[in-house]
């Protein structure tokens, strides 16, 4: 496959005169193209759902979420992994991103970093990849040697491989367990895959990671319940979450939080089931940490 033949490298007929139009028309052209992204991602929802279900099984068995890519794609992976930690209370080793050229590539371009398939595999070897892990390979073209080399090594190890690309029938597909491929079409600025391709990748990463967290029991209703109260701000947030989840007062939430030593999920179950702390702990353990299941178990017992 010649690089210049890739769909992500083609010229967009809707923006060929974007340098000659007024600012409002320029932004309208970009916005109309962005609207294609949501429709393209929607067509991939079955593959996104499949990837979530496969990843949850691995994650709940101790597998790590490892994002890998080059350039914009790699940076998006690092951002997604980084945001999971404060939002869902993950440890550093549970989710992290690897970008071609190392972390210095987050803020500057490292020439040639994406061209080595061997370096992709070496970077995964360096983190002691195992068959329990989930590797999310991100590349707009599906043709990046670094990312494809990483996923090829992950296949040898037996890890789950989730490939995200915007080009159909790419080499990435051959090394992925599941491929998610929104066809967003040529970019407004030819080859600038930080635009529509980057937006599609971010949308998919949002769904993937959030879906895995929900199905792992780190969300109750639509609330992030694994927040760890470590300062005044997060303490107030924890109280608000408990009060909203249980439809009770902030004072009642504060009391439950104190009784459970700042354990938000335990405080919620304690209030919802109106039992003892030990009973709430047993229910959570029996429900594998899922608050909804724990509350349902309590109802069934009653």
Rounded Cα–Cα distance for residues 147 and 121 (Å): 8
Question: Which H or E run contains 96?
Answer: strand 95-99
Sign of CA dihedral 80, 86, 90, 92: positive
E strands in 131-190:
134-138, 160-164, 178-180
Nearest to 70 by CA among 143, 162, 167: 143
83 assigned to active site: yes
Nearest to 47 by CA among 159, 200, 171: 200
Rounded Cα–Cα distance for residues 176 and 172 (Å): 6
Question: Which H or E run contains 261?
Answer: none
Q: Which of 4, 9, 57, 83 is catalytic?
A: 83
Rounded Cα–Cα distance for residues 11 and 188 (Å): 8
Nearest to 268 by CA among 220, 201, 210, 203: 220
Exposure of 35 in the CB half-sphere (CA atoms within 13 A): 6
Q: Which of 9, 33, 114, 272 is catalytic?
A: 114
Sign of CA dihedral 139, 3, 112, 177: positive
Q: Catalytic amino acids?
A: 83, 114
């Amino acid at each position: 496959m010649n690089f210049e033949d890739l769909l992500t490298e083609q010229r967009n007929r809707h923006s060929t005169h974007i340098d000659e139009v007024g600012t409002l028309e320029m932004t309208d052209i970009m916005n109309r193209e962005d609207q294609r992204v949501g429709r393209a991602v929607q067509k991939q929802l079955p593959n996104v759902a499949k990837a979530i279900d496969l990843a949850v099984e691995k994650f709940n068995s101790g597998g790590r979420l490892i994002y890998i890519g080059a350039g914009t794609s790699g940076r998006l992976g690092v951002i997604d992994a980084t945001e999971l930690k404060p939002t869902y209370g993950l440890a550093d080793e549970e989710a992290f991103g690897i970008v071609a050229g190392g972390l210095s590539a987050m803020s500057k371009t490292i020439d040639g970093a994406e061209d080595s398939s061997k370096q992709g595999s070496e970077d995964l070897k360096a983190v002691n990849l195992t068959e329990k892990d989930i590797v999310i390979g991100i590349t707009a073209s599906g043709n990046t040697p670094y990312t494809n080399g990483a996923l090829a090594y992950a296949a040898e190890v037996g890890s789950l491989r989730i490939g995200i690309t915007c080009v159909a029938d790419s080499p990435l597909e051959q090394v992925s367990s599941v491929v998610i491929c929104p066809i967003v079409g040529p970019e407004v600025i030819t080859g600038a895959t930080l635009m529509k391709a980057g937006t599609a990748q971010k949308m998919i990463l949002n769904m993937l990671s959030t879906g895995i967290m929900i199905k792992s029991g780190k969300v109750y209703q639509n609330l992030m319940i694994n927040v760890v109260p470590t300062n005044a701000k997060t303490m107030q947030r924890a109280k608000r979450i408990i009060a909203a989840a249980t439809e009770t007062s902030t004072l009642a939430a504060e009391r439950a939080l104190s009784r459970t030593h700042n354990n938000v999920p335990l405080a919620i179950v304690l209030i919802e089931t109106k039992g003892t702390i030990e009973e709430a702990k047993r229910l959570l353990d029996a429900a594998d940490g899922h608050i909804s299941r724990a509350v349902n178990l309590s109802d069934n017992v009653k």
